[in-house]
Chains A and B, each alone.
Chain A
Amino acid sequence: MDGRARGLVRWSAWLAAAAALTAAMAAVRGDLEKVHVALAYLLLVLAASALGTRALGFAVAVVAFLGFNFFFLPPYQTFGLSDHRDWLVLFTFLAVAAVATQLLHRARHHAAQAQRLSVEAGRAQALREADRLKDALLASVSHDLRTPLTTIKALAHDLGETGDERAVVIEEEADRLNRLVAGLLDLSRLNAGELRVTPEIVAAEDLVGAALQRVQGPMGGREIRVELHPSEPILLGRMDFVQSLRVLVNLLENAQKYAPPATPIDISVERDGGRLVFRVADHGPGVAEDERERIFQPFYRQPHGEADVGGAGLGLAISRRLAEAQGGSLAYEPRPGGGSVFVFALPAADLHDAGAGASPGAGG
């Protein structure tokens, strides 16, 4: 039975009850005072609005009002009244019935709301707990995955040395799986707010050098041009070295993935007011205008990109959050003439920031 049919049955039942009550009281009309009739009807109205809806309560009240008038207030069998004071009785009855119905409705509404709120609070609590468990699980799975990955990689490497090229693929895939695991672990840590950032004074060329060293192998001989002049003063930033390195490495790896192999990647560093700005520019296809913010969302995939370029769409999302966690930023700019420029900015630092009065020679 659907809700509508159930409502119809309920209404019919209550109206039948009103009719039955009226008939029963009409049979003994001679023995009843007006107040007995009013109280009996009021009980019916209260019962209807307590067990049914507010509308049902009002409807039963109106039916009782009419029945009261028609059958129990002289002249009988008419809607007229001989004693004008009976109007007062009648309307008082109607008002009491209406107010009682409304009060009951409101009480029920509040009860329902309180229950819903408590259910929602319980659900929010459960969601938080589920989130926490998911993160804990992810962290433990990520760590546990590294051990078998080490074995797979090592055995594949040994196999590769015997000349089996399939083993080289296995080793590459193990590396890729490892990166994916690391990405998931990072995202879960960033989501849980557990990522530790330790800002230090870092020379820009130290960071760029470490990034170049890390991408050396996978870059397969692509030219990476660094615009950094040894004659100029050393540029310094206040950053977490490890996290900033990961951002820069991610940008270089992206450029490697998306730009044609024969094209160079350009890295430049400059001081811009209070910021130390790293730019990684490629000669790839660039990013469509309406995609330029979306590329920083987790699990983003370029709509018309190649089916598989070996990522999970986590790199830029993680990188931006790593940059922001250090008081920096990561943004996209189109490269004039085609291609992408990723602008990674961090707070700049000066030498006098480095030591509070202690000169390095005499320090310690």
Chain B
Amino acid sequence: MADTTILVIDDEPQIRRVVRNALEGDGVRVVEAATGREGIDRAAAERPDLVVLDLGLADVAGASVCAEIRGWSSVPIVVLSARHSEHEKVALLDAGADDYVTKPFSTAELRARVRAQLRRSRAAPSPGAGGPVELDGLRVDLARRVLSRDGGEIHLTPTEWDLLRAFVSNAGRTLTHDQIFRAVWGRATGGDPQAYLRVHVANLRRKIERDAVRPTLIVTEPGVGYRFRALD
């Protein structure tokens, strides 16, 4: 991760220090901002490779900071949030955040999430578009619509293919139910048809996971959506 700049926007100095300690070194430079306004300014000035954004800023709502940065930059944004606010997380992901970490988080978890986002933003703009990908014995060829595990072909319905495409091309990213629905069905109608989403995910898991009850590829983010495992 040479020559990487990470911007931390948080009004708690202790949390900024924790994030700095967790991420700094090994070619990573951490710059800090104590308010949302300052964060937006520094994001414009420093052009960081990733932004860590706290939800509980005193001056500007986290979602506004997120939307403002998203207005002119596709820099990955990882949100720090307190628990019990799934609605807030959904709003942030819908506003363009890429991932979130719940307080109190472990530094290992934060590091892993940040690395995954950095890797994703530096890889192909759309994972899986470049050719077949292989994960845990599962081979996905989105272009030719061929799926196999350990040599045996797996048959998917058209909807399941669309679902898998949405997941694989956003591998490593938490997708909200709305985002998945838009990707698969074209636009978010909300309400009842959305309930089918969970059923399709359950069906898809039964086909591609080794154990549908202990999924390793499609991970549930409770109250938020699903995350497909980051491609290696």
Q: Do A and B bind each other?
A: yes
Q: Could you list 28 A-B pairs, sorted by A, with CB under 8 Å?
A: A143-B82, A146-B83, A146-B103, A151-B17, A152-B104, A154-B106, A158-B21, A158-B22, A175-B104, A182-B84, A201-B198, A206-B198, A206-B201, A210-B220, A213-B219, A228-B213, A234-B202, A242-B86, A245-B222, A354-B199, A355-B193, A360-B159, A360-B185, A361-B157, A363-B185, A363-B196, A364-B181, A364-B187
Best-buried of A149, A178, A205, A242 by chain B (most CB within 10 Å): A205
A208 interfacial by beta-carbon distance below 8 Å: yes
By the criterion CB–CB under 8 Å, are A151 and B18 in contact?
yes
CA distance A353 to B191 in the complex (A): 12
Q: A residues 199-225 with Cβ under 8 Å of B?
A: 200-203, 205-206, 208-210, 212-213
Complex interface: chain A residues within 8 A of B214 (CB)? 209, 212-213
Instruction: Name the residue of chain B whose CB is nearest to the CB of A139.
Output: B84
CA distance A300 to B41 in the complex (A): 52
- Interface contact tally, CB-CB below 8 A: 132
By the criterion CB–CB under 8 Å, are B103 and A234 in contact?
no
Complex interface: chain B residues within 8 A of A354 (CB)? 192-193, 195-196, 199
By the criterion CB–CB under 8 Å, are A364 and B186 in contact?
yes
A7 interfacial by beta-carbon distance below 8 Å: no
B74 interfacial by beta-carbon distance below 8 Å: no
Complex interface: chain A residues within 8 A of B219 (CB)? 213
Contacts A203-B202, A213-B220 given: A355-B15 contact, CB under 8 Å?
Answer: no
Interface size range on A against B: 35 or more
Complex interface: chain A residues within 8 A of B220 (CB)? 206, 209-210, 213
B155 interfacial by beta-carbon distance below 8 Å: no
The contact string, 1 if C-beta is below 8 Å from chain B, for chain A 147-185, is 111111111011000000000000100110010001001
Distance of B196 from chain A, by nearest CB (Å): 4
B95 interfacial by beta-carbon distance below 8 Å: no
- Chain B residues with CB under 8 Å of chain A are 12, 14-15, 17-18, 21-22, 56, 82-84, 86, 103-108, 157-159, 181, 185-187, 189, 192-193, 195-196, 198-203, 205-206, 212-215, 219-220, 222-223
Complex interface: chain A residues within 8 A of B185 (CB)? 360, 363-364
A62 interfacial by beta-carbon distance below 8 Å: no
Complex interface: chain A residues within 8 A of B157 (CB)? 361
By the criterion CB–CB under 8 Å, are B18 and A150 in contact?
yes
Complex interface: chain A residues within 8 A of B195 (CB)? 200-201, 353-355
Contacts A154-B21, A203-B199 given: A226-B213 contact, CB under 8 Å?
Answer: yes
A8 interfacial by beta-carbon distance below 8 Å: no
